[in-house]
A = this chain, B = another copy of it.
Amino acid sequence: MSGQDRRVRRSQRLLREALVALIPEKGYDRITVQDILDRADVGRSTFYAHYRDKDDLLLAGFDDLRTDLQRDLDALSPGVPPHPTSPTGAIFAHAYRRRHLYRALCGRRGGSVVQRRLHRLVSDLFRAHLRPHIEAAGSDLPVDVAAAFYTSAALGLLTWWVDQDFRPGPAALASIYQRLAAPGLLAALAPPASEPPPSAITDGHTGSDK
């Protein structure tokens, strides 16, 4: 299959490690294939024997991470989970445990390729999760809009967190996310009878500054 020959494993490992090490240093965009080759001490043709290009190598690393995350999520699936280890929390916890990789993949210096992939992944997750709740409540809230909102919010938080070097802890971050995200959705799931009052606070613009 894939991991049979020791030489193959070795080459792929060296290349992946080189890339991950390089990203925080130069930023993904500025990294050249030659940089990776030099760092990994691997021949040029070897690289192209395994990966189509730089993105391919990066996404291979992403897929590993993705599989790993999926396992974590599946592991805590029995019924509705209680407070501390909720799935979003699990994502943050996973990011925390795999700090080294997330720094390369989700940080500011990471490639937008992974960002897009990750956005898709989480977006699908949210859509599938939200739809039944919204439909059950008979809400007029469009599923896609809600999914876009919460996906971007969660990933934005994640990216910010990574760039902050994972400070505050994963539990604290998950808690904050809950506090900010939950009430809005719960309110939106209520029958669309009462129009919620507009708030200047969430508008993102001070009325009279400058």
Contacts and interface: CB of A to CB of B under 8 A. Distances in A.
A32 interface: no
A77 interface: yes
A210 interface: yes
Contacts of A133: 201
A176 B132 CA distance: 19
A88 B159 CA distance: 23
Nearest to A153: B153
A156 to B, nearest CB: 2
B182 A150 contact: no
Contacts of A152: 152-153, 155-157, 159-160
A182 B201 contact: yes
When all copies of this chain in the complex are counted, the total is: 2
A83 B129 contact: no
Contacts of A184: 179-184
A12 to B, nearest CB: 26
Scoring A80, A89, A204 by chain B CB atoms within 10 A of each residue's CB, the highest score goes to A204
B182 A196 contact: yes
B207 A150 contact: no
Contacts of A177: 149, 202
A33 interface: no
Nearest to A145: B176
A201 B186 contact: yes
A157 B182 contact: no
Contacts of A78: 207-208
A3 interface: no
> What 3 pairs across the A-B complex have the smallest Cβ distances?
A152-B156, A87-B205, A183-B183
